Amino acid sequence: MIVALVNNMPDSAFIETEEQIRSLTAPSSAGENVELALYTITEIPRSDAIASVIQSRYRGLDQLWTHAPDALIVTGTEPGQAQLPYEPYWPYLAHLLEWAASSVPTTMLSCLAAHASVLLFDGIERVPRRVKCSGVYESPVENPTEPLVAGLPASVPIPHSRMNDVPEAAMIQAGYEIIIGSEHADVGWAVATRKRGDGRFVLCQGHTEYGTLSLLREYRRDVRRYLFGRGAVSYPRVPESYFGPDAVATLNGFERRATTWNVDPLKLWESFPYEKVVADVHNSWAQASSAFYANWLVLAGESVAT
């Protein structure tokens, strides 16, 4: 079975995302013989290092159209515009989603890619959040009979990291089934699904694919933007339910120093306690994410068989 990954992640998370998806789609996770085919939107500007990686093992979307996979994963990326159609990659992403609906049996969409899909097909706009949603949140399985959540407990932890939401009520009205929600009212749904064209779309507003350090690296990036942004952005909140108490205390102490007047941004940035807090990161979602992807691969395999 061929699973295509269209990796749209920023340079800082590009390789990590590939490695995590490769791990989640490994044959041992579902008993499927999976070949992971790598694609990306080659028109997105990249650093020399990532451009070299892309040249060595990735293909452009023009090669995907003639090699339709059995299943497709499309990652999100960091938003740069208030409205998705203004993103420079929008035409390529929109074409990809339209093609997937008619050519791929099952497509999994992560975060921004999921938001792009509901805007493109259903006209549902994402809603900016007052404060970034960042952390790991317990999320109830809404329909235990859904094959995608087979074997999962009644509630599963799922990482979230975003500045926008798609309202659950609008999703349901448009015909989506919310299969994993959230017990936290301010977090919103995590996974939804519906038939789209000749296939099935699985939309993940949460980041089921995240690695152990993904939220830490994003938090560190946001801290750096605060330090060098000259007041353009606010200081980020520590991701919820992700660090142990010692790490939270350490990061809160760094924030107090960072928000002090007359601080030297470069000197302070060099002292960011990354290595100190790494050991206090707790990955509570890996087991559930592996089971979720294994279920998805089983369903994809059944589609191929029929």
Q: Which of 115, 160, 204, 209 is catalytic?
A: 209
Active site residue 282: no
In the chain, where are the structural domains located? 2-211+283-305, 214-278
Q: Which of 18, 133, 204, 207 is catalytic?
A: 207
Q: Is the predicted pLDDT of residue 31 greater than 70, yes or no?
A: no
Report the alpha-carbon angle 16-156-294, nearest 5.
Answer: 60
Q: In whole angstroms, give the CA distance from residue 212 to residue 214.
A: 6
Q: In whole angstroms, give the CA distance from residue 144 to residue 151.
A: 9
Active site residue 207: yes
Arithmetic mean of pLDDT over the chain: 93
pLDDT, one tens digit per residue, over 281-306 is 989 999 999 999 999 999 998 877 66
Q: Quickly list H helices, 58-109.
A: 61-64, 90-103
Return phi, psi of residue 141, to 5°.
-75, 115
Q: Does domain 2-211+283-305 have CATH number 3.40.50.880?
A: yes
And the tokens for 228?
């060098």
Please say whether the beta carbons of 160 and 190 come within 8 A: yes
Lowest mean pLDDT: which of 24-33, 105-114, 134-143?
24-33
Q: In whole angstroms, give the CA distance from residue 33 to residue 167.
A: 37
Active site residue 209: yes
Work out the average pLDDT over 16-41: 86
pLDDT band at 262 (very low <50, low <70, confident <90, very high): confident
pLDDT, one tens digit per residue, over 115-124 is 999 999 999 9
pLDDT, one tens digit per residue, over 134-164 is 999 999 999 999 999 999 999 999 999 999 9
Question: Scanning the structure block, which residue is given the tokens 């999962």?
Answer: 152
Q: Which of 18, 111, 204, 218 is catalytic?
A: 111
